[in-house]
Structures are given as structure tokens and as C-alpha cells.
Amino acid sequence: MNLEKFCQSFYQATYIPITKMTLPAQVDYSFPRLADQLPIFSTYTENIHFNKRTDYYITKSFAFFGIIQIKNSLDYIVIGPIFSTSFLSNHVEAFMQEMSIPNNYKDILQTLLENTPTYSLNQCLHMLNFLNLNLNNELLDLTPIMTAQSKYKTNFNRRLAQQLTESKEESRIHNTYHFEQRLLKAVETGNTRRIVEILNEAGNLSAGKLAENTVRQQKNIFITAVTLVTRAAVAGGLDVEQAYSLSDIYIQECERLDDINKILDLNQTMYYDFTNRVIRQKLNSQTSKEVFVALQFIHNNTNQTIKVEDVAQISGYSYSYLKKKFKNEVGKTINEYIIQTKLEEAKELLKYSDFSISDISNYLSFSSQSYFQNLFKKYHGITPLQCRKGK
């Protein structure tokens, strides 16, 4: 077998960096070619002792390296570095520090990592097995390696139990679930007013500890939020490619920031941006400008008493003109749409808030609680109390 051609073909098929070495630490060739320009191979002998025919090593920065010795030789094939999560700028710094790479190699390393796909640990191990089958005509027994991974699970369970105990002792309970559900529902329905109201409640939340410093903590919270918001926006009708591309842009921008206040500002911008895109998607290009304005007014004022005349006035057209155009485009009368929008918000509040049924009725400006309950049952098929109990 032409080993160099094999390595080149492997890289072209997978885009996983692959290097041919000879003990103790001589680099013969590497693909992509820029990989052999990095002074990381001298650190292999420090971290990987080459005491097994086939082995793997995971750095503290969570980079995976796999090693295969060619049978009856001093030659080794090394694959990596491979990360199991999307490439972020902090990967470069952590990896460079760990592998003692000088700063003048940062651009080369960044290019390498940006062009390397992400793979899970299991995928990397099976990739190693595949290479060993091709190079040494034998399969590895991955059972001991997989069993060793279970130690991590035991450790995580122990840490979880400890953290839950500490949280209860300190009255530091995560209370973000219902808050998140209300926010995500507001994004999904394109309700910008609800976004403003819910974000104003954020001061009483405890998100838990996600990092060792406050900036990293806020970045991790942001990345989690934009992931959830992206899914809610897609559920609300936003184009999948547009939603995920927007998510990538926001995460990249967040990683660039090093000021907590700027990250918080970006967080609010992100929520408003996704929500506005959802409402624009819902009200597609066939919706006329006047009906679009009317719909936005209704969605943003469900906590007010909305009269049909108010909707017509805000659109800038006569009642008779807007009434006909609205029914033709939306399929409902203005009044029917007002009630529907209020009842959809009532359902959200019953599921994800502690407001009483009476408070919700008053908040949404229904004339009486009994009137609200009758409308709710007629529209949703269950009573507000049944909705609250999850029936």
C-alpha cells in the first residue's frame, strides 16, 4: 500500500488532519499540508507515550488525537486534532496554551480547526477502528474503551447529586424553565410586546453556574438562549436555513465580545430580531401593508381593550375598507382575530405563569372572568382550570 496516498485520500474524504510519524517524534508528512507546519508533534511524546499499538488521547481543551502503529514497524499514523463541538475562538487559545504553540502559529492553527469537521468521541473511536482495519487488517475491541467512558457518567451523577443538595441548602433553585417557555412561545408567535415584558422579569432568575468567570458564564447563557430561540423561530415558521445562519452570526458576535453589558444588549437584540422575523414570515409577502400594520397592532396590544375602530385608525384607512380587506386576507373578521390572539396568550399564561385565572382575565382586558372562561372553553375545548392542570 502507498501509505502517503492512503493518508491523502483519507483526508480528502473526511477533512480530518492525518499525520505519518516515525518514532520517537519524526514527522514524515501530514495532510492538510499546513498541519506539518505546526510545532505540536514534539508534544506527542510528552502526552502520548506510544506504549500501545492503538490508543487515543483527549487534551484538556477537548481535542481528540488517535494513534495507530503500523504492524511490524516503527511507523505511526496520528489523526487529529478533532473537536466534538463547533469551532470557537477560545478553542485556539486553550489548545495553543496546552500544546505550547507560539502565538505566531495562531493563524495556521485557526485555519486548520475551522476546516476540520466536528465528530463525537464515539465517531472518532470508530474512525480509529476503521483505519486500523485498513492498515493492520484487524478490528479493535472498543468495549474496554466504551466501559471506561462510563466512569464519566458515574462522576457526573455524583456531581449532580452534590449540586442539587447545595442548591437546596442555599435556596438557589433554578427557576428558568417557565420563564424560558413563555419567552420561546412569544418568539414562536411573533409577539414582541410579550418579549419586552418577559425580559423585564429576568432579574429574579437563577440560571445556575455554567462557567468559572462571569463573562464566560454570560456567553454560555447566550449560546443556550440563541439555540432555543432558533428552534422556537423555526416552529413559528421562520425559514430553517435563515434561522440557523442567524444563530451562527449571533454566536460568533457573542464570542467576539468581552464586556458583560454588551453581551446583555446583544441578547435583547437577538430576541427582538428573531421575533420580528417570525411575525414578518407569518404575515407573508401577500399580506398588504395596511393589514400587516393592523395585525402587529393587535399582537402588541392584547393587554388592552382593542376596538375595531382603533385598528382601522392605526392602519390609516377607513373601517369599512380595512374590515373587508382584513377578512379577505386573514380569513377572519378583525374582532374574531382580536379574541383569538388574546385567547392564545391566555393559554400561554395559564401554562407558564403563576397568575390566577382572574388576573389573566383582567390582564387581557376581558369584560368579566365568566365571559373569559366561556370564550376560552369555546375556542380551546377545555376550561382555563383544565388548561392549567395540563389536561
pLDDT at residue 362, as a whole number: 92
pLDDT at residue 368, as a whole number: 92
* Beta sheet of 18-22, edge-to-edge order: 26-31, 18-22, 75-83, 63-69, 54-58
Residue 194 near residue 239, CB atoms below 8 Å:
no
pLDDT at residue 9, as a whole number: 93
Residue 77 near residue 19, CB atoms below 8 Å:
yes
- Determine the Cα–Cα distance for residues 261 and 255; give it in Å rounded to an integer: 14
Q: What are phi and psi of 75, to 5 degrees?
A: -90, 140
Query: Is 0.85 surpassed by the pTM of this model?
Result: no
* Annotated domain spans of the chain: 3-140, 177-282, 289-388
Q: What are phi and psi of 82, to 5 degrees?
A: -125, 135
- How many alpha carbons fall within 13 Å on the CB side of residue 208? 15
pLDDT at residue 338, as a whole number: 93
Nine-digit cell at 283?
404575515
Name the 3-class secondary structure at 232: helix
- Determine the Cα–Cα distance for residues 331 and 327; give it in Å rounded to an integer: 5
Q: What superfamily does domain 289-388 belong to in CATH?
A: Homeodomain-like (1.10.10.60)
Q: Note down pLDDT in tens along the chain; length 391 residues.
A: 899 999 999 999 998 999 888 876 678 888 887 655 666 655 554 555 555 567 777 777 677 888 888 988 888 898 988 887 665 556 677 778 777 778 887 887 788 877 888 887 778 888 888 999 999 998 876 655 555 444 444 554 455 455 444 544 444 334 456 677 788 888 888 887 778 777 776 544 445 554 556 788 888 888 888 988 998 888 888 878 888 888 999 999 998 888 888 888 898 889 988 988 887 776 665 678 788 888 878 877 888 899 888 888 888 888 899 999 999 988 899 999 999 989 988 988 888 777 899 999 998 999 999 999 999 999 999 999 999 887 6
Residue 262 near residue 282, CB atoms below 8 Å:
no
C-alpha Rg value of the chain to the nearest Å: 29
**Cβ burial 2-20 (10 Å sphere, 16+ → b, else e):** eeeebbbebbeebebbbbb
Residue 384 near residue 351, CB atoms below 8 Å:
no
- Determine the Cα–Cα distance for residues 190 and 166; give it in Å rounded to an integer: 38
- Determine the Cα–Cα distance for residues 128 and 134; give it in Å rounded to an integer: 10
**Could you tell me how many residues make up the chain?**
391
Q: What are phi and psi of 88, to 5 degrees?
A: -125, 155
pLDDT at residue 157, as a whole number: 47
pLDDT at residue 43, as a whole number: 55
pLDDT at residue 236, as a whole number: 83
Element (DSSP H or E) covering residue 106: helix 106-114
